[in-house]
Structure 1
Amino acid sequence: MEDALEKQIAFIKEIDKLKYIQRKTRLFNSDRHENDAEHSWHLAMMAIVLSSHSNHEIDMLKVIKMLLIHDIVEIDAGDTFLFDTTKNHTNTEEELKAAERIFGILPEDQAKELIAIWTEFETGETKEAKFAKAMDRFEPMLQNASNNGGTWREFNVPYEAVIEKKQKIKDGATNIWDYARNMVDKYYGK
Structure 2
Amino acid sequence: MDLSVGESGSTLLIGPTLSGRRRLFHRLLWESPGRPAVVETRNTAECLRSRYQRVAHDDASPPIVVDCITNSLGRSEDDTKTTKYAQDPGNLTSIGMKFADILDQHETDQLSVGLTNLSPLIVYTSTSDVSQFAHILIQKSIGTDWPVVATIDPRVHNASTVEQFVPLFDSVIETRRTDDGDQAYRIQKPERTDWETF
What TM-score results when the alignment is normalised by the length of structure 1? 0.30
Q: Which has the higher contact order (CA 8 A, sep 6+)?
A: 2
What TM-score results when the alignment is normalised by the length of structure 2? 0.29
The structure in which a higher percent of residues are helix is 1
The structure in which a higher percent of residues are strand is 2
